Amino acid sequence: MFGSIGGPELIIIFVVALLIFGPRKLPDLGRAIGRGMAEFRKAASDLRHTLDTEVARDERARAEAAGRKSEKERGAPDAADAGKQSESD
């Protein structure tokens, strides 16, 4: 879970934190760290979702542009040309 940090290292970190912050402040500190981690995870998830949405939107726009380009190459009139032709009739 913590990579290369093992049990003895965690115990040493806990004892040092206990000595620095004291037994009364340690639960508050743990809650604050937990809230911070939860907010960070939520922000990272939101960012990932936003990036995925924007990438998908960009891919759709590129595919539509490529489709319009291939229609023009085949000689198919697009909507703007069709409107001009109906006005001239």
How far apart CA 37 and CA 53 sit, in angstroms, is 24
**pLDDT attached to residue 79:** 54
Q: What is the pLDDT along the chain (89 residues), one digit of tens a residue?
A: 556 878 888 889 888 988 988 888 988 988 999 999 999 999 999 999 999 999 999 999 998 888 887 777 776 555 555 555 555 55
How far apart CA 58 and CA 50 sit, in angstroms, is 12
Tokens standing for 5?
């940090």
How far apart CA 30 and CA 46 sit, in angstroms, is 24
How far apart CA 28 and CA 69 sit, in angstroms, is 61
Per domain, the residue ranges of the chain are 36-72
Q: Where are the alpha helices (DSSP H) in 1-89?
A: 7-74, 79-88
